[in-house]
């Protein structure tokens, strides 16, 4: 299969500046609690010990509704539904806002250096007071689900040593295993599938990222500083899910990751990325208006890199199906956009939620099933030697008819945005987007390889 792709002047995609956050309802939070208890029962867990810090708080937040910001925290969930919060000094106030009913335990060991150590009770004593002596199996939930083939992944724990050491020395003979898969594991993790309320909640971030991205792309001009573009990529005062990228020319000079005062020059390769809960937007190309402004050895950039990449994104969107396995989808992508030729090396698509990369059901021989309610990033990163990468990573959701009807009935403004995005993808970009693929981002499928040309994007000519 081959698409007839051309560079064509188009109207800009619609963006939405005034979308308000959708909060998770009490019903959704109760459903989450029940899903966790059901997952525990299936694998005979008596308790879960769920870790959180600012960077690794999403499994904790799934039930509590918050992260412990600059401290660490633990949530213990028992098979009978009872729960216990273990928090440091500056998060004690959050206990009363917790979305799951939980008994509070204070440990200043989770607090910042040199803060008061009042109520100094060691971690073992806290665990013993909660009580695990009757447990036979305890799940340890950090943030990472290990999938190596050469070791016992269930015995790898990604929590700070002082917590793991206390767990190993508390009053219990229970078997302790890594249980992160209960939350993020492909098609069986409780967080892999979202209801209409959760999709509306996460669409706020996907819209925010792609709205900010288009503003930044439109602002790319000769002499514009990276940090000016970076300011445009940061929106609504929200916390980013990834490091914001606004890079022109060579990246990582002096090992720097962040936007600087460097100015865009004609012919620069450029990368722009921003992400929030629910979705990331990442685009790249060259700071030129047309092919003849590229250096001579790069003037086949469209043919060698950008057009094959856009075609792969179109194929991805047109062919992902509810009910197929991740392995089947991986093979389809690899056949259409060969890894051996285009040198992509990560999963061609992954799940997204509170973090930018939750996990991925798309890998070789994967038997994990693509399900209605999954939210995924269109993440294929080619690496063609000598050329800047092409990138237009955005967020979609898979939704069967029942879920689509639920969204339309309960979130009509969201549904209107979805319909507007879908129309643009089909009619302007020429991508035959199936009904079950819901664009969460405004720039799904939008590839603009020449960033100084404010109207030309790649399209499929029928």
| pLDDT tens per residue, range 47-67 | 999 999 999 999 999 999 999
Residue 317 and residue 431 in contact, taking contact as beta carbons nearer than 8 Å: yes
pLDDT at 267: 94
pLDDT on residue 462: 81
* 97 and 164 part of one domain: yes
CATH number for the domain harbouring residue 80: 3.40.350.10
In a domain, 38, yes or no: no
pLDDT at 149: 87
Q: How confident is the model at residue 120 (pLDDT cuts 50, 70, 90)?
A: confident
Q: Could you tell me if residue 393 is inside a domain?
A: yes
Torsion of CA 328, 329, 331, 332, to 10 degrees: 120
Reading the block at residue 406, the tokens are 């639920």
Among residues 232, 196, 228, the alpha carbon closest in space to that of 15 is found at 232
Q: Are 241 and 123 members of one domain?
A: no
pLDDT at 203 over 90: yes
C-alpha to C-alpha distance for 153 and 179, rounded to whole angstroms: 10
Assess if residue 163 is contained within a domain: yes
* Domain assignment present for 35: no
| pLDDT tens column, 238-275 | 999 999 999 999 989 899 999 999 999 999 999 999 99
Q: How confident is the model at residue 384 (pLDDT cuts 50, 70, 90)?
A: confident
What CATH number has the domain bearing residue 414?
A: 3.90.230.10
- DSSP letter, residue 137: E
Q: Which residue has the tokens 């057009």?
A: 307
pLDDT at 388: 80
Radius of gyration of the chain, Cα coordinates, nearest whole angstrom:
23
pLDDT band, very low/low/confident/very high, at 389 (cuts 50, 70, 90): confident
Region 169-184 average pLDDT? 96
The count of residues in the chain is: 462
In 88-159, which ranges are E strands?
103-106, 137-141
77-88 per-residue burial string, b: 16 or more CB within 10 A, e: under 16: bbeeeebbbbbb
Look at residue 121 in the predicted model and tell me its pLDDT.
Answer: 83
Q: Are residues 160 and 199 in the same domain?
A: no
Residue 153 and residue 286 in one domain: no
Cα separation, 214 vs 205, in Å, equals 14
Pick from 116, 151, 178: which residue ends a domain?
178
Q: Do 240 and 198 share a structural domain?
A: yes
Is the distance from CB of 379 to CB of 275 less than 8 angstroms?
no
Measured CA to CA in angstroms, residue 269 lies from 227, 248, 266, 388 at distances of 16, 6, 9, 6
Tokens 């996907």, located at residue: 206
Residue range(s) defining the domain that contains residue 101: 44-178
200/214 Cα distance (integer angstroms): 21
Q: What is the mean pLDDT of residues 210-231?
A: 98
Residues 73 and 160 in one domain: yes
Question: Above 80 in pLDDT, residue 1?
Answer: no
Element housing 459 (H / E): strand 456-460
186 pLDDT more than 90:
no
Residues 275, 279, 285, 289: is their CA dihedral positive or negative?
negative
Does 170 share its domain with 200?
no
Mean pLDDT, range 128-155, rounded to an integer = 95
Q: How distant is the alpha carbon of residue 122 from its chain centre?
A: 35
Measuring CA to CA, which residue among 294, 288, 289, 247 is closest to residue 271? 247
Q: Are residues 147 and 226 in the same domain?
A: no
CA distance 169 to 138: 14
Same domain, 136 and 221: no
pTM tops 0.85, yes or no: yes
Structure tokens at 296: 């001579």
What confidence category does residue 425 fall into, taking pLDDT thresholds of 50, 70 and 90?
very high
Q: Please check whether residue 2 is in contact with residue 314, taking contact to mean a CB–CB distance below 8 angstroms.
A: no
Task: Pick the last residue of a domain from 155, 178, 201.
Answer: 178
Q: Assess if residue 224 is contained within a domain.
A: yes
Q: What is the mean pLDDT of residues 92-98?
A: 95
pLDDT at residue 410, as a whole number: 98
Domain boundary among 151, 178, 205: 178
**Nearest residue to 32 (alpha-carbon basis) of 322, 353, 330:** 353
- Largest alpha-carbon pair distance within the chain? 73
Identify whether residues 341 and 226 lie together within a single domain: yes
The pLDDT of residue 224: 98
Same domain membership, residue 202 and residue 150:
no
Look at residue 36 in the predicted model and tell me its pLDDT.
Answer: 98
Domain count, the chain: 2
**pLDDT > 70: percent of the chain:** 100
- Distance of alpha carbon 36 from alpha carbon 372, whole angstroms: 19
Three-class secondary structure of residue 339 per DSSP: helix
Determine how many CB atoms are found less than 10 A away from the CB of residue 305.
24
**Would residue 61 count as lying in a domain?**
yes
Do 16 and 51 fall within a single domain? no
Task: Identify whether 232 is part of a domain.
Answer: yes
Q: Is residue 39 part of a domain?
A: no
């Amino acid at each position: 299969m081959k698409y007839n792709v051309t560079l064509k002047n188009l109207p800009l995609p619609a963006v939405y500046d005034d979308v308000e956050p959708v909060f998770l309802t009490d019903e959704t939070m109760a459903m989450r609690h029940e899903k966790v208890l059901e997952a525990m029962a299936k694998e005979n867990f008596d308790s879960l010990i769920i870790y959180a810090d600012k960077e690794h708080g999403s499994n904790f937040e799934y039930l509590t509704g918050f992260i412990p910001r600059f401290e660490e925290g633990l949530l213990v969930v028992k098979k009978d539904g009872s729960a216990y919060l273990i928090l440091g000094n500056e998060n004690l106030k959050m206990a009363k806002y917790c979305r799951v009913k939980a008994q509070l335990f204070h440990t200043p060991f989770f607090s910042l250096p040199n803060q008061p150590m009042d109520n100094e009770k060691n971690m073992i004593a806290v665990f013993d007071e909660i009580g695990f002596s009757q447990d036979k199996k305890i799940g340890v939930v950090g943030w990472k689900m290990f999938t190596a083939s050469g070791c016992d992944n269930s015995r790898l724990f990604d929590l700070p040593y002082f917590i793991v050491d206390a767990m190993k020395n508390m009053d219990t003979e229970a078997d302790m295993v890594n249980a992160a898969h209960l939350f993020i594991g492909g098609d069986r993790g409780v967080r892999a599938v979202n209801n209409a309320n959760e999709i509306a909640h996460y669409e706020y971030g996907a819209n925010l990222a792609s709205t900010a991205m288009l503003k930044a792309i439109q602002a790319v001009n000769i002499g514009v500083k990276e940090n000016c573009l970076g300011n445009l990529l940061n929106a609504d005062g929200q916390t980013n899910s990834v490091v914001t990228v606004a890079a022109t020319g060579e990246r990582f000079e002096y090992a720097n990751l962040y936007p600087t005062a460097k100015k865009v020059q004609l012919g620069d390769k450029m990368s722009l990325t921003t992400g929030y809960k629910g979705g990331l937007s990442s685009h790249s190309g060259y700071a030129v208006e047309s092919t003849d402004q590229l250096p001579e050895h790069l003037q086949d950039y469209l043919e060698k890199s950008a057009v094959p990449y856009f075609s792969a994104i179109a194929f991805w969107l047109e062919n992902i199906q509810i009910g197929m396995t991740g392995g089947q989808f991986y093979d389809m992508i690899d056949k259409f956009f060969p890894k051996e030729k285009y040198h992509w090396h990560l999963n061609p698509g992954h799940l997204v939620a509170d973090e930018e990369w939750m996990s991925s059901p798309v890998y070789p021989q994967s038997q994990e099933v693509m399900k209605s309610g999954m939210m995924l990033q269109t993440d294929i990163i080619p690496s063609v030697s000598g050329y800047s990468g092409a990138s237009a990573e955005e967020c979609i959701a898979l939704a069967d008819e029942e879920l689509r009807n639920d969204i339309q009935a309960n979130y009509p403004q969201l549904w209107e945005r979805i319909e507007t995005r879908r129309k643009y993808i089909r009619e302007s970009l020429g991508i035959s987007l199936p009904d079950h693929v819901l664009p969460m981002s405004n720039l799904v499928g939008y590839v603009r390889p020449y960033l100084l040309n404010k109207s030309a994007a790649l399209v499929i000519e029928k």
